[in-house]
């Protein structure tokens, strides 16, 4: 069955345009609710959101959908995506929902669904929900309609959990940390957790107004954080995205440290402590060859998956690995969480910094990455990757890179984009092959 609504990370799009309309959100609530009505207990769904303006509309519509099929709703307000996963499990809910478009601008929104175990839904569950979306809703009798309520301690619960993942024998006293919360879901919880652990916290992106989420701030726009870290003389900077399931780090010199370097540090540290499982870590096809070579030098493996943190997690579970993630900063530490968690990953990095007693610039840059270039080409419709011109350009690029690099071409699962990535020993060659494929896609 072809997916109509779900992409690589839930459902996402521009608000008030399909599939991000109130009507479809209500239908998703009805379909997902009906799918998870199992047994004769009182059913419950946890709904969280980030800070974008359309969250109110989407939340209200989904509450209408869930209650109409007999589910009670617990609203937890603006919290990180991993908090929804955590609360779904801890509150014994049947389903969790995060209303967020992650790192996208405020005009977009999305719906991420979690099962009762706190994990993102399987392909099979999503396909079943898609089938139900095409059918009339399974409305319950008036007496069985669900209720909704809001709980006020959700953020406190998550802060307590995040702090519990930090080594209890360590403190952040004397460490100056700049944290950029992207005017998003972690605008309260991240600064609070860091401060309570002893850090001297400088906060940025903590004044959400509904439209400034990810606006020149956060993990996808770290320039302001880089400048602030240097200006403040801070030891480290942490940038989260809109729903706080990813992070990018800035060292004390203002240099960016991406997810590959962070995973290398955590994996090496855990391996030394005997905590690393599975013989290595799981990452996607986008992770740099430098990471693979670094891990190999330590007797560890890099197990690659297709792009998407859900696929990383599936591979982690099947291989028995407890560290995985993406170059973009989605880092999954399955000892603590069922999904990517920017704050928890940041706390592991800070623990390494405290233990290492060396500057972030020394500890965080574990390998020299190979030249890598990623460009996005927007397309209007059709299947540009199936055209003869694009196929020919890709074949030529692969031949030119043979033995010295690699090529990854994929269609975005959340936007109408073709993502073209190449890496190799020769930076000029990498740029040439990426440009040649982008030109072919644009002409398709």
Domain CATH number, residue 93: 3.40.120.10
How many angstroms separate the CA atoms of 401 and 139, rounded?
57
Is this structure's pTM higher than 0.75?
yes
- Domain assignment present for residue 2? The answer is no
Residues 423, 298 share a domain: no
Q: Backbone phi, then psi, for 73, in 5-degree steps? A: -115, 135
- Domain assignment present for residue 349? The answer is no
Residues noted as catalytic: 102
How many angstroms separate the CA atoms of 331 and 262, rounded?
8
Largest CA distance in the chain: 68
Residues 288, 198 share a domain: no
- Residue 162: how many other CB atoms lie within 10 Å: 28
Domain final residue pick, 363, 398, 421: 363
- Domain assignment present for residue 24? The answer is yes
Q: What local confidence, expressed as pLDDT, does residue 444 receive?
A: 79
Q: What local confidence, expressed as pLDDT, does residue 1 receive?
A: 52
Q: What local confidence, expressed as pLDDT, does residue 312 receive?
A: 95
Q: What local confidence, expressed as pLDDT, does residue 178 receive?
A: 98
Mean pLDDT in residue range 367-371: 93
- Domain assignment present for residue 4? The answer is no
Q: Which CATH number characterizes residue 394's domain?
A: 3.30.310.50
Range of the domain at 408: 372-443
How many angstroms separate the CA atoms of 369 and 258, rounded?
11
Residues 128, 50 share a domain: yes
- Domain assignment present for residue 3? The answer is no
Residues 20, 119 share a domain: yes
User: Per residue in 86-141, pLDDT tens?
Assistant: 999 999 999 999 999 999 999 999 999 999 999 999 889 999 999 999 999 999 99
What share of the chain in percent tops pLDDT 70?
99
Say what angle helices 259-273 and 342-356 make with each other, to 10 degrees.
60
User: Per residue in 30-54, pLDDT tens?
Assistant: 999 999 998 888 999 999 999 999 9
pLDDT grade, residue 402 (50/70/90)?
A: confident
The number of folded domains in the chain is: 4
Residues 411, 381 share a domain: yes
What share of the chain in percent tops pLDDT 90?
89
Residues 116, 236 share a domain: no
Q: Backbone phi, then psi, for 415, in 5-degree steps? A: -140, 160
Using alpha carbons, select from 327, 436, 317, 437 the residue that is nearest to residue 384: 437
How many angstroms separate the CA atoms of 41 and 411, rounded?
42
| Coil vs helix vs strand at 276 | coil
Q: What local confidence, expressed as pLDDT, does residue 133 receive?
A: 95
Mean pLDDT in residue range 69-87: 98
Q: What local confidence, expressed as pLDDT, does residue 382 receive?
A: 80
The lowest-confidence range among 27-36, 223-232, 273-282, 413-422 is 413-422
């Amino acid at each position: 069955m072809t997916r109509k609504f779900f992409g690589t990370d839930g459902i996402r799009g521009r608000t008030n345009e399909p599939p991000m309309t109130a009507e479809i959100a209500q239908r998703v609530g009805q379909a997902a609710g009906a799918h998870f009505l199992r047994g004769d207990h009182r059913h419950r769904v946890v709904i969280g959101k980030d800070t974008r303006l359309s969250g109110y509309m989407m939340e209200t519509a989904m509450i209408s959908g869930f209650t109409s099929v007999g589910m009670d709703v617990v609203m937890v307000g603006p919290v990180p995506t991993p908090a929804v996963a955590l609360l779904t499990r801890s509150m014994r809910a049947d389903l969790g929902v995060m209303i967020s478009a992650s790192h996208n601008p405020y005009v977009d929104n999305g719906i991420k669904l979690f099962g009762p175990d706190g994990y993102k839904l399987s392909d099979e569950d999503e396909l079943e929900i898609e089938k139900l979306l095409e059918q009339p809703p399974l409305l319950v009798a008036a007496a069985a309609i669900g209720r909704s309520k809001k709980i006020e301690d959700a953020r406190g619960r998550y802060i307590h959990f995040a702090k519990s993942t930090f080594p209890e024998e360590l403190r952040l006293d004397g460490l100056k940390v700049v944290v950029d919360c992207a005017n998003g879901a972690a605008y309260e919880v991240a600064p609070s957790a860091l401060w309570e652990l002893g850090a001297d916290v400088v906060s940025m992106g903590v004044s959400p107004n509904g439209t400034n989420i990810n606006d020149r701030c956060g993990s996808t726009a770290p320039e302001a954080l880089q400048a602030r870290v240097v200006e403040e003389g801070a030891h480290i900077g942490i940038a989260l995205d809109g729903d706080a399931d990813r992070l990018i780090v800035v060292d004390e010199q203002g240099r960016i440290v991406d997810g590959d370097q962070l995973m290398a540090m955590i994996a090496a540290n855990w391996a030394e402590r005997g905590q690393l499982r599975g013989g290595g870590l799981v990452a996607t096809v986008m992770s740099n060859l430098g990471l693979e070579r670094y891990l190999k030098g330590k007797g560890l493996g890099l197990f690659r998956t297709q792009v998407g943190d859900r696929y990383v997690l599936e591979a982690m579970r099947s291989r028995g690995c407890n560290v995985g993630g993406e170059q973009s900063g989605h880092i999954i530490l399955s000892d603590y969480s069922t999904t990517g968690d920017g704050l928890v990953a940041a706390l592991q990095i800070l623990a390494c910094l405290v233990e290492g007693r060396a500057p972030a610039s020394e500890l965080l840059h574990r390998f020299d990455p190979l030249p890598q270039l990623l460009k996005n080409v927007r397309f209007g419709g059709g299947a540009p990757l199936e055209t003869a011109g694009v196929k020919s350009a890709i074949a030529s690029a692969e031949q030119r890179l043979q033995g010295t690099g690699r090529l990854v071409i994929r269609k975005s699962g959340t936007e109408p984009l073709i993502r073209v990535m190449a890496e190799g020993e020769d930076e000029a060659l990498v740029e040439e092959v990426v440009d040649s494929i982008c030109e072919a896609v644009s002409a398709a």
